[in-house]
């Protein structure tokens, strides 16, 4: 306490007179009385040791903005970073809607006072359902990694088997999380990828499939951007009686076949591409989808919203489907756990999908594939530069191999940064077998001039 009591804008009852009156109403002599149950030996005997506060909004804002000025963001440079988080154009109405106070500050209201929240999330699931050609889509989980981990657990529970095959051309981070998350119930085995194409090594897959296998987990496109032949792989997996789980970039589905169509039993992925800013990793959300089969649906841990008639004829309402699956209802008897995750990004992805419509999704997907193809053509002409996976078709990203240039990726990227370009993500640590390789991503934000600028800058950097 300072000598002059501070009134805080965020704490209305910090007004001394009000505080005193309220204390009187409770019959307490001081706030200390409310802490009577906290033993002395547990009490802090000093104030918290924190930086001096910036009590005025004006000074706080200036302080934070000065810190932010130490960042250099992708809007002021050309960035070709991908690897699970992508720079796409975020439509203004996505920001407008997720910035609305109503959505931003709502939480766990009922389907009546929060009717709009329920409808917006149910519509998100519905539009994802159209994109995926599947009838069941969960409300968002944390991110695509979590969706993948949960999908594996769902498959294990559903099948009663404890072996899950993981494609090795999945992101190392994702494989790490899947294993940590699932290994109490599941034994994981990795399936190799073909070094020429970066695609799944079907021979290795055949060798590892058995009647013990619950599922194969595969990303399409894979971490290197390569597109595998879904149907062929699904055929192998099904012949072993296993399930196929496919992780997919939803933004690819205007041009690529939805995995359910070639036999995936569970489809999952990340919705960051669908209208979320990258925000240094703050824009992620995961989805899980499947056919509407009761046994499979009962394996979902997350909330599922359903539409229902109300007591007014012709009126819709919404509510929780099969709530008794969840840990909210059943604690450890429910499926995994459920809680706050990424609902606002679900609503935003709904706005995105409604804004793109069918034609927008097709154009986005095709445009990205063509930009990638153009970039591959142009980049492969640079001396020493090699496409790591010439044998595959790519969506959004691909691996460039710098091994023959005599420069490390780190050196190249430093040179590019001087030219206001963020080069591709360095894979030399996570995939040492790829040598000095980097993952380059291209989206609709990149114009031909941008790609040409990258080519020119790389030529300079490699020659220097």
User: Which stretches of the chain bind a copy of itself, using CB under 8 A?
Assistant: 56-59, 61-62, 65, 75, 89, 91-92, 96, 101, 444-445, 447
Which of positions 186-225 make contact with other proteins (CB under 8 A)? none
Residue 67 CB, shortest distance to other proteins, in Å, is 5
Please identify which residue in 22, 207, 404, 463 interacts with other proteins, judged by CB under 8 A: 22
Listed ranges 42-50, 155-163, 236-244, 398-406: which one lies at the site for other proteins (CB under 8 A): 42-50
Which of a copy of itself, other proteins, none interacts with 112 (beta carbon under 5 to 8 A by kind)? other proteins
CB of 89 to a copy of itself, least distance (A): 4
Site for other proteins contains 299 (CB under 8 A): no
CA dihedral 245, 247, 252, 257 (to 10 degrees): -10
The one of other proteins, a copy of itself, none whose footprint includes residue 211, by CB under 5 to 8 A per kind, is: none
**Per CB under 8 A, 463 contacts other proteins:** no
Q: Which of 195, 433, 448, 463 binds other proteins (CB under 8 A)?
A: 448
Binders of other proteins among 101-130, rule CB under 8 A?
101-117, 119-123, 125-130
Residue 160 as a binder of other proteins (CB under 8 A): the answer is no
Among 3, 4, 211, 332, binds other proteins (CB under 8 A): 332
* The only residue of 71, 211, 381, 464 in contact with other proteins, by rule CB under 8 A: 71
Residue of 203, 206, 292, 456 that binds other proteins (CB under 8 A): 292
Q: Which is nearer to a copy of itself, 37 or 76 (CB)?
A: 76
Q: Which is nearer to other proteins, 330 or 404 (CB)?
A: 330
Neighbours of 14 (CB within 10 A): 13
Q: Using the rule CB under 8 A, which residue among 160, 211, 312, 381 binds other proteins?
A: 312
Print the SS3 string covering 93-148.
HHHHHHCCHHHHHCCCCCCCCCHHHHHHHHHHHHHHHHHHCCCEECCCECCHHHHH
The residue among 151, 397, 144 whose CA lies nearest residue 271 is: 144
Which whole-number Å values give the CA distances from 446 to 256, 298, 430, 452, in the listed order? 21, 43, 27, 10
Question: CB of residue 77 vs a copy of itself: minimum separation in angstroms?
Answer: 12
Answer yes or no whether residue 164 interacts with other proteins by CB under 8 A.
no
CA dist 409 and 428 (Å) reads 8
Residue closer to a copy of itself by CB (options 57, 429) is 57
Cβ 349 to other proteins shortest distance, Å? 12
Q: Which does 42 bind (CB under 5 to 8 A by kind): a copy of itself, other proteins, none?
A: other proteins
H helix or E strand, kind and range, residue 210: none
Residue 409 binds other proteins (CB under 8 A): no
Torsion of CA 353, 358, 363, 364, to 10 degrees: 20
| CB closer to other proteins out of 46 and 464 | 46
Which partner, other proteins, a copy of itself, none, binds residue 263 by CB below 5 to 8 Å per kind?
A: none
User: Which residue in 270, 274, 264 sits closest to 243, CA to CA?
Assistant: 264
Whole-number Å distance between alpha carbons of 408 and 401: 10
Which residues contact residue 190 at a Cβ distance below 8 angstroms, ignoring those fewer than 6 apart? 165, 166, 167, 168, 175
- Maximum Cα interatomic distance, the chain, rounded to a whole number of Å: 82
In a 13 Å sphere around the CA of 263, the CA atoms on its Cβ side amount to 19
391 lines the binding site for other proteins (CB under 8 A): no
Tokens of 317: 């309402």
- Beta carbon of residue 361, minimum distance to a copy of itself (angstroms, whole number): 14
Distance CA 286, CA 162 (A): 23
Compute the distance between CA of residue 20 and CA of residue 49 in angstroms, rounded to an integer: 27
Token digits of residue 345: 């990004």
Structure-token match 């991110």, residue found? 143
- Size of the chain in residues: 464
User: Does the protein bind other proteins through residue 269 (CB under 8 A)?
Assistant: no
Smallest distance from other proteins to CB 326, Å: 8
The nearer residue to a copy of itself, 66 or 108, going by C-beta atoms, is 66
């Amino acid at each position: 306490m300072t000598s002059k009591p501070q009134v805080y804008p965020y704490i209305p009852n910090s007004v001394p007179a009000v505080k005193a009156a309220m204390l009187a109403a409770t019959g307490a002599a001081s706030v200390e009385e409310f802490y009577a149950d906290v033993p002395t030996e547990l009490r802090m005997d000093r104030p918290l040791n924190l930086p001096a506060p910036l009590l005025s909004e004006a000074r706080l804002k200036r302080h934070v903005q000065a810190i932010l000025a130490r960042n250099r963001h992708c809007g002021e440079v050309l960035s070709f970073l991908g690897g699970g988080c992508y720079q796409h154009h975020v439509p203004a109405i996505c920001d407008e809607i997720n910035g609305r106070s109503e959505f931003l500050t709502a939480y766990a209201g009922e389907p009546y006072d929060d009717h709009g929240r329920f409808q917006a999330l149910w519509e998100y699931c519905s539009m994802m359902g159209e994109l995926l050609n599947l009838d069941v889509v969960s409300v968002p989980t944390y991110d695509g990694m979590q969706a993948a981990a949960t999908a594996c657990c769902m498959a294990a529970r559903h099948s009663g088997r404890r072996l899950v095959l993981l494609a090795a051309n999945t992101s190392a981070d994702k494989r790490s999380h899947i294993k940590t998350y699932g290994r109490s119930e599941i034994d994981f085995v990795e399936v190799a990828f073909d070094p020429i194409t970066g695609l799944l090594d079907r021979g290795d897959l055949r060798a590892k499939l058995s009647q013990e296998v619950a599922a194969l987990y595969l990303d399409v496109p894979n971490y290197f951007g390569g597109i595998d032949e879904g149907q062929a792989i699904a055929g192998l997996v099904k012949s072993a009686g296993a399930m196929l789980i496919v992780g997919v970039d939803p933004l690819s589905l205007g041009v690529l076949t939805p995995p359910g169509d070639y036999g995936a039993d569970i489809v999952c992925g990340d919705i960051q591409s669908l209208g979320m800013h990258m925000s240094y990793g703050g824009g992620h959300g995961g989805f899980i989808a499947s056919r509407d089969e009761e046994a499979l649906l009962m394996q979902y841990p997350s909330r599922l919203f359903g539409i229902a008639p109300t007591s007014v004829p012709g009126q819709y309402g919404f509510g929780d489907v099969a709530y008794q699956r969840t840990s909210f209802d059943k604690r450890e008897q429910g499926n995994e756990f459920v809680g706050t995750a990424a609902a606002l990004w679900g609503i935003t992805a709904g706005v995105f999908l409604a804004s793109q419509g069918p034609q927008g999704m097709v154009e986005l997907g095709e445009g990205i594939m063509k930009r990638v193809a153009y970039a591959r053509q142009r980049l492969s002409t640079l001396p020493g530069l090699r496409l790591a996976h010439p044998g595959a078709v790519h969506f959004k990203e691909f691996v460039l191999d710098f091994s023959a240039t005599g420069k490390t990726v780190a050196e190249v990227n430093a040179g590019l940064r001087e030219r206001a370009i963020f080069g591709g993500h360095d894979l030399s640590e996570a995939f040492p077998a790829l040598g000095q390789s980097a993952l380059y991503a291209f989206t609709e934000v990149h114009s031909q001039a941008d790609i040409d600028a990258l080519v020119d800058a790389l030529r300079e950097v490699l020659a220097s």
